[in-house]
């Protein structure tokens, strides 16, 4: 039997979750996790990652133990995100700052991010503030998700003045209606609906269940859940991020880094081609790997060297 790795070396070096989960420490932080912990085939403590309830309990324990987030409740069926992977995205965004700022990562609430599609879980603003002290605006089209995210903020008073939520009134738009005149963001981040249809989501879910359980099944139970607005949209991630790129030009002087997660390598090539036909001054692709999942971050800016220097001086290094 193959020995289970003691360190997740594929995660970012600053990620707090590179070591195997210390379930006893997590249970101490959140006793509700205890019923879900057992001994796996490697004779190590673990949970059933195919169980939505177990994954949610693990998330609550991780958030409380590592990030002092004491209240985190999301509605049934809404996306329950894998914490290590979400933290990785934020660490790589921080590296983008360092790459253009002599390896210095700006921290504190003066650094402002926009999370496009903040979701019911509000995970990126929570982690971004807990790790780097950044402030956030989270946008969302789903009213239930927005209400859930606000309850999480209200339940953790340390975020009251650092995370602001805004309803996107136009389902066909991304930045318009959200970014206010003269408002500046140091970065935009997005975990877009990756899939183009409900059937595509179902097939991916079946494959995941088979990989986790070894069972040939025709019934998909999504361990990380997710509703329509979180999982799929017309045209999938290619159309969504393409729309981001098109809209971002209008806000090119109001944001330093525009970024998005990209699930499919085929999509990545199309997006790079699109960006190369814009006036973007820098295009970055960052490879990420969490467990068996491989994904990428695409990042771009329209600021020239002089504008970047002025931005750093007035917002990061003042």
Confidence of residue 9 (pLDDT cuts 50, 70, 90): confident
State which residues form the domain around 308: 76-316
Determine the pLDDT at residue 139: 98
Q: Tokens at residue 258, please?
A: 């525009």
In a domain, 7, yes or no: no
Structural domains counted in the chain: 1
187 alpha carbon, distance to own chain's centre: 13
- Residue scoring higher pLDDT (36 or 8): 36
Region 113-127: mean pLDDT is: 97
Q: At CB < 8 A and 24+ separation, what contacts does 127-130 make? A: 127/67, 127/83, 127/86, 127/87, 127/90, 128/90, 129/158, 129/159, 129/162, 129/163, 130/67, 130/68, 130/69
Determine the pLDDT at residue 8: 67
pLDDT in tens, 263-298: 989 999 999 999 999 999 999 999 998 767 789 999
93 alpha carbon, distance to own chain's centre: 11
In a domain, 12, yes or no: no
pTM for this one? 0.87
**How many CB atoms neighbour CB 233 within 10 A?**
19
In a domain, 55, yes or no: no
Determine the pLDDT at residue 202: 47
pLDDT above 60 for 140: yes
pLDDT in tens, 85-118: 999 999 999 999 999 999 999 999 999 999 999 9
In a domain, 5, yes or no: no
| CATH code (residue 245) | 3.40.50.150
In a domain, 282, yes or no: yes
Confidence of residue 225 (pLDDT cuts 50, 70, 90): low
Name the pairing type of β-strands 38-39 and 135-140: unpaired
| Least confidently predicted of 21-25, 230-234, 241-245 | 230-234
Determine the pLDDT at residue 171: 86
- What value does the mean pLDDT of the chain take? 89
Region 38-51: mean pLDDT is: 93
Determine the pLDDT at residue 318: 78
d(CA 181, CA 161): 21
User: Please, which residues have CB within 8 angstroms of residue 240's CB and are 6 or more apart in sequence?
Assistant: 192, 193, 233
């Amino acid at each position: 039997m193959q020995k289970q790795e003691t360190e997740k070396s594929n995660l970012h070096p600053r990620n707090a979750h590179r070591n195997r989960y210390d379930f006893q420490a997590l249970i101490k932080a959140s006793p509700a996790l205890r019923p879900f912990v057992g001994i796996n085939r490697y004779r190590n403590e673990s949970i059933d990652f195919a169980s939505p309830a177990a994954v949610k309990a693990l998330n609550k324990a991780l958030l409380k133990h590592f990030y002092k987030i004491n209240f985190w409740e999301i509605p049934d069926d809404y996306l329950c995100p894998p914490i290590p992977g979400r933290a990785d995205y934020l660490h790589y965004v921080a590296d983008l700052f360092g790459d253009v700022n002599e390896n210095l990562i700006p921290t504190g609430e003066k650094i402002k991010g926009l999370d496009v599609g903040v979701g019911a879980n509000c995970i990126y603003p929570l982690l971004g503030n807990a790790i780097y002290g950044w402030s956030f605006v989270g946008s969302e089209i789903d009213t239930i998700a927005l209400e859930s995210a606000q309850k999480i903020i209200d339940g953790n008073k340390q975020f009251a003045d650092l995370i602001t939520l805004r309803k996107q009134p136009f389902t066909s738009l991304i930045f318009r209606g959200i970014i206010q005149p003269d408002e500046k963001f140091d970065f935009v981040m997005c975990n877009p609906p990756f899939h183009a249809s409900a059937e595509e989501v179902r097939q991916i879910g079946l494959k995941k269940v088979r990989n986790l359980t070894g069972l040939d099944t025709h019934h998909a139970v999504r361990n990380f859940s997710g509703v329509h607005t979180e999982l799929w949209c017309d045209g999938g991630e290619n159309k969504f991020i393409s729309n981001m790129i098109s809209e971002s030009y209008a806000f090119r002087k109001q944001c330093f880094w525009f970024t998005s997660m990209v699930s499919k390598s085929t999509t990545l090539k199309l997006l790079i081609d699109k960006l190369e036909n814009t006036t973007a001054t820098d295009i970055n692709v960052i490879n990420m790997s969490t467990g068996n999942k491989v994904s990428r971050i695409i990042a771009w800016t329209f600021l020239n060297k002089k504008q970047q220097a002025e931005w750093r001086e007035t917002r990061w290094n003042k």
